[in-house]
Amino acid sequence: MMKIAVIPGDGIGKEVMNASMLILEKLDLPFEYVWLEAGDEAEKKYGKALPDETLEEIKRCKALLFGAAGESAADVIVKLRQELETYANLRPVKSFKGVKTIHNNVDMIIVRENTECLYKGLEFGVSEGVTVGIRVISREASERIIRFAFELAKRDKRRKVTALHKANVMKKTCGLFRDVFREIAKEYEKYGIESEEYYVDAGCMYMVMKPNIFDVIVTTNMFGDIISDLAAGLVGGLGLMPSANIGEEYGIFEPVHGAAFDIAGKGIANPTAMILSSAMMLRYLGFLDEAKRIEKAVEKVIAEGKTTPDLGGKLKTIDMTKEILKNVQ
């Protein structure tokens, strides 16, 4: 039996996690689910948003399903990424039939470096009214994430990998990332995988105007954070966006919509992102057929308009989940 850590967290995290587990538990999977606490409520209860006991138990599990955290998100998910060394953040971005958007042909995956850049938090004051943040970009981390992106393209038979950087301004940090990208891209030409690069500001413009030119995008930590939410807006919002944080030993799977306290407890949270995150976990663990069943079921239900109010439907969270479950089964 594989041990899977489950952290519902705060706000709608509990609701969407229950929805996801309703589906997972109906599948014949060799999993033992370990329910744990982390987030705002855990901080009030234990004095720490990520209790030591929770972290130690996660390290004994094969993967982690995470719902959402409120104000303590940085103390939970960022720390988990660091502790579990999940260096690659994956955000698939795909159009859904039945969701009205400007573009209907979006199908890309964003691969974001997850361990360094400005998000290392190296900030300090140098004088009154002046602060400094240090951006860290290393060859080792750049090689690791760029090779990850090309290997993903190779495995999934995707045609192109695009690097987004700002090497025209940040000549040392982004310059290093760009140079490593060019080196590794040459290794994958024999597999028919194209490579291209854009300055990140131009990349954002093209993403809005003609997103179909992108296939796999690889970029640094902060740029990846920003463009991931931009891309979510192209296909219907964060309620549809799953994500994964992948390392050598562990995988963390979470929706990216946050705790959404304004709708928590109303039973109208869209469970799509959490359910698709669980499907990403199944792919990571090798259960491809089950993952495909979940993904196709979600697509069918959304196409039929059997959705929560954020997508124009009238269903409650549990009712949309039951519709998905019918199609999974």
Identify the active-site residue in 26, 59, 156, 201.
201
Which structural domains are found in the chain, ordered by start? 1-94+236-329 (3.40.718.10), 102-235 (3.40.718.10)
Count other C-beta atoms under 10 Å from residue 282's C-beta.
23
Active site residue 166: yes
How far is it, in rounded angstroms, from Cα 215 to Cα 230? 15
d(CA 299, CA 324): 9
Taking the C-alpha atoms of residue 32 and residue 299, their distance in angstroms, rounded to an integer, is 28
Q: How far apart are the first and last CA of the chain?
A: 22
Instruction: Kindly state the tokens that stand for 218.
Output: 């690889």
326 in catalytic set = no
With 0-12 / 13-18 / 19 or more C-beta atoms within 10 angstroms meaning exposed / middle / buried, residue 322 is: middle
d(CA 262, CA 33): 29
Where do the DSSP E strands lie in 185-310? 194-199, 216-219, 242-246, 251-255
- Among 26, 45, 229, 326, which one carries the catalytic annotation? 229
Q: Check if 119 is active-site.
A: yes
Contact 284, 253 (CB under 8 A): yes
Q: Which of 40, 166, 198, 310 is catalytic?
A: 166
pLDDT in tens, 6-47: 999 999 999 999 999 999 999 989 999 999 999 999 999 999
Query: Per residue, what are the HEC states of 3-28?
Result: EEEEEEECCCHHHHHHHHHHHHCCCC
8 Å CB contact between 313 and 307 = yes
201 given a catalytic annotation: yes
Give Cα 276 distance to the centre of its chain: 10
Going by the DSSP 8-state scheme, the letter that residue 84 receives in this structure is: T
Q: What is the pLDDT of residue 119?
A: 87
Q: Which helix (H) or strand (E) holds 299?
A: helix 288-303
Task: Of 193, 252, 202, 195, give the one whose Cα is nearest residue 227.
Answer: 202
Asked if 170 contacts 204 with a C-beta cutoff of 8 angstroms, the reply is no
Going residue by residue through the chain (329 aa), what tens digit of pLDDT does each one get?
A: 899 999 999 999 999 999 999 999 999 899 999 999 999 999 999 999 999 999 999 999 999 999 999 999 889 988 899 899 999 999 999 999 999 898 988 999 999 999 999 988 899 999 999 999 999 999 999 999 999 999 999 999 999 999 999 999 999 999 999 999 999 999 999 999 999 999 999 999 999 999 999 999 999 999 999 999 999 999 999 999 999 999 999 999 999 998 999 999 999 999 999 999 999 999 999 999 999 999 999 999 999 999 999 999 999 999 999 999 999 98
Give the Cα separation of 226 and 204 in Å (integer): 9
Task: Indicate the residue type of 147.
Answer: R
Residue of 215, 225, 284, 306 marked active site: 225
Query: Annotated catalytic, 156?
Result: no
- Distance between CA 83 and CA 89 in Å, rounded? 15
Q: Cα 328 to the chain's mean position, in Å?
A: 23
The closest of 307, 254, 312, 319 to 280, measured between CA atoms, is: 254
d(CA 22, CA 62): 20
Active-site option among 14, 87, 94, 119: 119
CB 222 within 8 A of CB 119: yes
